[in-house]
Structure 1
Amino acid sequence: MREYQSLAHTTWNCRYHVVFIPKKRKKAIFGGIRKHLGEVFHELARQKECQIVEGHLMRDHVHMCISIPPKHSVSHVVGYI
């Protein structure tokens, strides 16, 4: 069974698949920066009341499945991160 979350007047389960790609697909995500980026993404998501359900940091892009409450727009959260 899915885990639904709720606010004052809504019950929701909004999850989005987001992909970040550096300009010209530079292979810049590796080593120490990879661990640091994971922590930074989780902290920024927490600040916007969101949760990163699953994420993968590849050498040239980032995949995230992020749970965003309906009171926040997806574009504002992704722009913030």
Structure 2
Amino acid sequence: MDNQSLSHSKYNCTYHIVFIPKYRRKVMYGKLQAEVGQILGKVCKMEGVTIIKAATMTDHVHMYVSI
């Protein structure tokens, strides 16, 4: 990812975020899996966060984002 810049600085701020249900239960299948992806996409868009990579598994969600 390229560095972004302000008037006196350059930065590259990325985060690896993992969401895990309580007790890592395997609850995200089919429709719920798609809804979770859409909701997280909308929230990131509203907050100005760029999703570089994202994956929804049955028991967790991985996101690699840039702010």
Q: Secondary structure at the match of 2:17?
A: strand
Normalised by the size of structure 2, how large is the TM-score?
0.84
The answer on whether the counterparts of 1:34 and 1:57 sit within 8 Å (CA) in structure 2 is yes
Normalised by the size of structure 1, how large is the TM-score?
0.72
Q: How many residues align?
A: 67
Unaligned runs of 5+ in 2: none
Counterpart check, 1:28 vs 2:27: yes
Residue identity in the other structure for 2:3: Y
Q: 1:50: Cα distance to partner?
A: 0.7
Unaligned runs of 5+ in 1: 69-81
CA RMSD, Structure 1 to Structure 2 (Å): 1.5
The answer on whether the counterparts of 1:42 and 1:51 sit within 8 Å (CA) in structure 2 is no
